[in-house]
Amino acid sequence: MDNGTLTRMNERTSALGMGCWAIGGEWTFLGMPAGWGPTDDAQSVRAVQAAYDHGIRLFDTAANYGCGHSEELLGRALGSRRQDCLISTKFGFQVNPETKTVTNRSDDMRTMPVAEHLVDECDASLRRLGTDVIDVYFFHVWDYEPAMAEDLMDRLERLVDAGKIRSYGWSTDDPQLVGIFAAGRHCSAVQTNLSVAVDQPDMLALCADKELAAFNRGPLAMGFLTGKYDASTQFPANDVRTRTWAVDTFQKPVTRHLDELRDILSEGGRTLAQGALAYLWARSERNLPIPGIRTAAQAEENARAMEFGPLTAESVARIHRIMGREV
For 58-76, write each residue's pLDDT tens digit: 999 999 999 999 999 999 9
Contact 151, 159 (CB under 8 A): no
Does the structure show a pLDDT above 90 at 78? yes
Does the structure show a pLDDT above 80 at 277? yes
pLDDT at 55: 97
- Look up residue 117 and give its DSSP letter: G
CATH class of segment(s) 3-228+284-304: alpha beta
pLDDT at 9: 54
Does the structure show a pLDDT above 80 at 147? yes
Contact 235, 242 (CB under 8 A): yes
Strand runs labelled E in the chain: 17-19, 28-29, 32-33, 58-60, 86-91, 94-96, 101-103, 134-139, 165-171, 187-193, 213-217, 287-289
What is the rounded (10 degree) CA torsion for 305, 227, 65, 166? 20
Residue boundaries of the structural domains of the chain: 3-228+284-304
Mean pLDDT of the chain: 95
Does the structure show a pLDDT above 90 at 264? yes
- Look up residue 116 and give its DSSP letter: G
Does the structure show a pLDDT above 90 at 191? yes
Does the structure show a pLDDT above 90 at 24? yes
State the number of CA atoms in the 13 A half-sphere of 98 facing the CB: 0
pLDDT at 1: 47
For 286-326, write each residue's pLDDT tens digit: 999 999 999 999 999 999 999 999 999 999 999 999 999 97
Longest dimension (CA), the chain: 52
Distance in Å from the first CA to the final CA of the chain: 31
For 100-146, write each residue's pLDDT tens digit: 999 999 999 999 999 999 999 999 999 999 999 999 999 999 899 99
